[in-house]
Structure 1
Amino acid sequence: MRRMTPGSAAGIDMPLNVHDSDLYPEMEELPLNRPGWTAMTLPLIGIATVLGWHENAQSTPTPGDGTRSQVIQDIRARTKGYLSRCNPVIPQQRLTMHIADFVLRKLELVTRQRMQMHAQPGTHEAFATEENLLEAVEILELGTTLMTDDRLRPWQWSTRLYPQNHMLLYVLWHLCVCPDGPNRDRIWQVVETVFSDTEATRAGSVGAGDLGSRWAVLTVLKEKAFTKRAGETAASGASRVQDQTQVATPGVMDAVGVFTQMGNFDWVEDLQVLPDWTTLMKDFQMENAFKFGV
């Protein structure tokens, strides 16, 4: 049995990769880890990811990327062992492969963001990179796959329970900082898909109500990003696009009104002001969060 990583709160053995049927009251010793997929495979990947996140969070960020890269590399190596015998044709195993890719890519991006924030706090240029943007968009695309993959249909509820607010927040912030650039049509298509899916879920849910203050922040950022994108268009078409901007996001003024009842987000009162990423994350109360649904 493999031990949990040094420095973890619990110096105990990792759970076994076995089926429930491998365990029975009369057994005198624990079974060996199975080399293939079991119902424990995805939880084990989740445990490894969380331990890696905490190991990175407890370390002091340095200008180099050595420690962070080693943590990610170790987790990927362990995960590869779990997934090597998964069959993507079998829905549960397909889900395991999908979620593993999702959380590992998210872990890699979030830990890189943490490193960059400490290296150059308060700067847009070092953080608003096309590499970060494309990775965040691809993570959002992986999330929407659960809504379109027929084999993953039984788990569509997870996309509603765990909205990818952190990734969407970064994408919208980046679009506000850098409205022009490559792949913008693709990026906006993903943003619109996430918003429409979220709104459709709210409309179709029994007793659905307000999506909360975080969604209001995202709505305002989307409107700001849309307005900045319109400002990049040719002067001949600018007025027409500006008219469209006024109705691009229904309820945006209601969203802005939410902030009159909140202690943070003073910057939204003036849409010409955009905070740096560190400030935005603190206001969003997500600077230390790493969860499947954030």
Structure 2
Amino acid sequence: MNPLSEPTDQAGTAPSSPSVNKPKVRLSCETCRQRKVKCDKLNPCTNCQRLGARCVPVERARLPRGRSGRLATERPGDQDANLKDRVSKLESIIRDLARGGSQASVRAILAAAVEESSQDGENSLGEDDSQAGGVRRPDTYLGSSFWANLLNEVPDVHPNERRSSKSDDRNAETNNLINYRRLLTMASGSGGTTNSEPPGTSSTHQQLCCLFMQRVDPICKILHRPSLKAFLVDGSPYLDYEPGHLAPTALAYSVYYAASCSLSDEESIRSFGVPKSTMVSRYQKEAEAALARADFITTNDLTVLQAYVLFLIALRSQDQSRRMWTMLSMALRIGQALSLHLPDPPFHVRPFERELRRRLWLAIGFLDIQASMDRASEPMMQASWLESHPPANVNDIDLSPNMEANPPDSPGFTDMTFTMMVHKTQYVARSLNFSGFMEPSITTLAIRQQLVLEFQQSVTKLLQHAEPDKHPFHWITRAIAECIHACMQLITLRPLQRSPNFTPPLVRGDRLLEFAVNVLIVSRRLRSDPRFTTYQWFEFAFPPWHCLAVALAELCVCDDKAVMERFWDPIEESFHLLGRLIADSQRGMLWKPMEKLMARARDRRVQLLASPSPDAYSPSLSTAVQQQPISMQMDTQGFVPGIDGRVGLQHAVAAMNTPESVVDGTWPNVWDAVDFSYAAPGTAQVAWMSYENFVADFYVNVDDPLVNR
């Protein structure tokens, strides 16, 4: 048991005599213990008075003769006699067993029993902490009567025996650390322990903190930057925590770990004199150790959960396996335990903490949708959990720990604008991509198209004060928003999940292929742009593998040699590039179906190249438009106002004329080439079948034991 998180009145009860008449010792109150803040032990305490909470005092009897509470009459002579009696009984048990088998079998059985009992003991670790003075639980908690007798007679074999009463608390803390460290190291694939130095005590820590604020904080807006700077740069206590508290320490090392992940190899060697891999490995272990000490699995502390979520974001940037995907479930459950999913939690929350809670919940939602997209799996969170209580779109300077009211949204481009854009993305992606597992699925094309249009309008309003020519981060936000919007159009027409009620519409000519390839080209240009270098570590988020799958499915039924050759090179380049970005790299469940689709496209290309050459290919107007970068494209024909000429015409036209709609005409679209009036026949239907087979292969690979280890 962690002595920092559990009351000690049980451990302090002496087994020999009642504590009714003994003086009481006042401990931290229940509220301060749960919040893990220092309590002045008044009645009521100052913290509870300030929060307006009910103060529940905690008292225990003063311990007799030290913490162990052992009887003064327990003398060495009695212990020797007890030991001899135990040895005699043990010899008798072994002799009885030896009559039925050889000595070798006896030793084998004993070894197996000890190992099995130790495992059982680990599963019930800490349950005997409520037994005062090291008294063991009854025999009914053990297995057969023989092994129960054996374990009771041999203290060294008993898994939960407390052998040294003077170090009960130290042993409990060590056991807690070892078990939680074991969980983290199993999840991250690393081992060993790390002796951390205090955060902020070295120039390396100062540099990493600055890197975090420049590279990680703008796109993962979880923390309050002024408070973090005061803690890690200026050396002040973090918020209302006392110096040396475990929660801010865990946060600090998660910050350092995330910052080290944002480095390139050249930057790491130039600034810190060691390769990036060394920096990442060191601070990953430091962060794991700090999270384990903070008891992150059962924590009620928002700061510890912030540290854990930052750790997961950084982990995914370096690790393509399913470790983060699996560990994310703990973050979600801890968030639910803290009532982050509720707009109004059932306890008092100050406005400043409310904003931090909402930011953190959005970050968990981002990891959830990113992991779902990564693996074509169902998300764990409902869209309504995120839509009901978003954070305020404000700058960090508009927030302070002592503010009395919730801040209003700021009109300009704020510290939260990128995060709010990702928030809009989360909601639409959940609605478009996934079947009715968590929520009712949306298969009606009119509603699906309207969701994308509403996303475009919302993001345009968010970015209306952006200055991409002056600020690189504004340009990056706009470029990512355009890529996401284009991907959403493809997802509208080619959903990620199979649905028997969905009928794909006809896309005229090669526009679907052109559009998908153009998204791949622009995405690659974005990742190679010098303005994106600062945020290169974040390229793992939403790689456009879905666009690649759509393009390959179209190539599989392509009949035009010129079209095949025109788009083959960018598709092949994207195929090799995305292999290192997606989940599990080229060994995972996503890439196996992609390789099959690529093989079919290559076979189709070989067939076309071997056939007689047709007439020279003349690119259409749409092809010429699609050759331009997304940021330079002009919407020459405009959005189709509804799914057909009759459905939603007035509503869509009115929406497009609102001030928040697109006024510069630069958002790319494929709607003008879509015929929504009937199902796609001929080659278009074959292309749809190729894509459906690709999606179906996901579920085959999920059950493959050789994939995704």
**TM above 0.5:** yes
Measure, in 2, the Cα distance between the counterparts of 1:82 and 1:102.
Answer: 16
> How do 1:197-276 and structure 2 match up within 5 A?
197-198=577-578, 211-235=587-611, 276=690
Match of 2:548 in 1: 168
Paired amino acid for 1:277:
Y
Structure 1 counterpart of 2:503? 120
Letter in 1 for 2:412: G
List aligned pairs for 1:34-73, cutoff 5 A: 34-56=410-432, 58-62=440-444, 65-73=445-453
**Distance change (3 Å), C-alpha of 1:235 and 1:72:** closer
Measured after TM superposition, the shift of residue 116 of structure 1 is 9.7
> Could you tell me which residue of structure 2 aligns to residue 104 of structure 1?
485
3-state SS of the aligned residue for 1:106?
helix
Rounded to whole Å, the distance in 2 between the matches of 1:10 and 1:194 is: 33
For 1:93, the aligned partner's letter is H
The aligned amino acid for 2:503 is: Q
CA distance in 2, matches of 1:79, 1:27: 29
In the alignment, structure 1 residue 283 sits paired with structure 2 residue 659: no
Q: CA deviation at 1:75?
A: 1.5
- Say if 2:597 and 2:694, in contact at 8 Å, map to a contact too: no
Paired amino acid for 1:111: T
| 392, 396, 417: which one aligns with 1:16 | 392
Deviation, 1:9, is 3.4
- C-alpha distance in structure 2 between counterparts of 1:24 and 1:105, whole Å: 38
Matched, 1:91 2:472: yes
Give yes or no for the alignment of 1:150 onto 2:530. yes
The aligned residue for residue 289 of structure 2 is: none
Q: Distance in 1 between matches of 2:396 and 2:560?
A: 53
Shift of 1:184: 3.3
Q: CA deviation at 1:181?
A: 6.4
8 A Cα contact 2:561 2:609, kept in partner: no
| Contact in 2 for aligned 1:128/1:177 (Cα 8 Å) | no
Deviation string for 1:229-250 (max 9, x for gaps)? 121135579xxxxxxxxxxxxx
RMSD: 3.5
Give the match's secondary structure for 2:556.
Answer: helix
Asked if structure 2 preserves the Cα contact closer than 8 Å seen for 1:214 and 1:284, the reply is: yes
Shift of 1:101: 0.9
Rounded Cα–Cα distance in structure 2 between residues aligned with 1:117 and 1:277? 14
Which residue identity does 1:120 align to in structure 2? T
Q: In the alignment, what sits opposite 2:231?
A: none
Summarize the Cα distance change of 1:189–1:209 in structure 2 as closer, same or farther, 3 Å threshold: closer
1:138 maps to which residue?
518
Shift of 1:279: 3.0
For the pair shown, the structure with the greater C-alpha radius of gyration is 2
Output the amino acid matched with 1:148.
Answer: S
Conservation of the 8 A alpha-carbon contact between 2:552 and 2:597: yes
Displacement, 1:25? 1.4
* One-letter identity of the residue aligned with 2:551: V
Once residues 47 and 209 of structure 1 are traced to their aligned partners in structure 2, the CA distance between those partners, rounded to angstroms, is 26
What is the aligned-residue identity percentage?
Answer: 26
C-alpha contact (below 8 Å) 1:128/1:178 kept by paired residues: no
Q: Which amino acid aligns with 2:405?
A: E
SS of the equivalent of 2:407 reads coil
After superposition, the Cα gap between the structure-2 partners of 1:27 and 1:160, relative to the gap in structure 1 and judged at 3 Å, is closer
Q: Given residue 143 of structure 1, which amino acid in structure 2 is its aligned partner?
A: S
Instruction: Identify the structure with the greater helix proportion.
Output: 1
Change (3 A) 1:209 1:66: closer
Distance in 2 separating the partners of 1:194 and 1:217: 16
Q: CA deviation at 1:180?
A: 2.5
Asked if the contact 2:516–2:547 (Cα under 8 Å) also holds between the matched residues in 1, the reply is yes
Give me the whole-angstrom Cα distance separating, in 2, the residues matched to 1:11 and 1:99: 21
> Structure 1 residue 77 and structure 2 residue 457: aligned?
yes
- Cα separation, 1, equivalents of 2:690 and 2:596: 16
Superimposed CA distance per residue, residues 108-149 of structure 1 (whole angstroms, 9 cap, x where no aligned partner)? 22022239974437xxx9479623222221221222022321
Read off the aligned partner of 2:697 and give its amino acid letter: D
Looking at structure 2, the residues matched to 159 and 110 of structure 1 have their Cα atoms a distance apart, in angstroms, of 20
Q: Which residue of 1 aligns with 2:571?
A: 191
Kept in 2, the 8 Å contact 1:117–1:278? The answer is: no
- 2:563, 2:533 → 1: CA distance? 29
Unmatched 5+ stretches in structure 1 = 1-6, 203-207, 238-273, 287-294
CA distance in 2, matches of 1:169, 1:138: 13
- Partner residue in 2 for 1:26: 402
Distance 1:142 1:151, change over 3 A: same
Distance in 2 (CA, whole Å) between partners of 1:155 and 1:41 is 16
Q: Distance in 1 between matches of 2:509 and 2:499?
A: 11
- Partners of 1:276 and 1:141 in 2: how far apart? 22
| Bigger relative CO (Cα 8 Å, ≥ 6 apart) | 1
Post-superposition CA distance 1:18-62 (Å, at most 9, x none): 111210012122222112212211221121122223345534423
User: How much has 1:11 moved relative to structure 2?
Assistant: 6.1
CA gap of 1:93–1:66, structure 2 versus 1, over 3 A, is same
Seen in structure 2, the aligned counterparts of structure 1 residues 285 and 23 have a Cα distance that, compared at 3 Å, is: farther
Change (3 A) 1:219 1:282: closer
Q: What secondary structure sits across from 1:232 in the alignment?
A: helix
Amino acid at match of 2:402: E
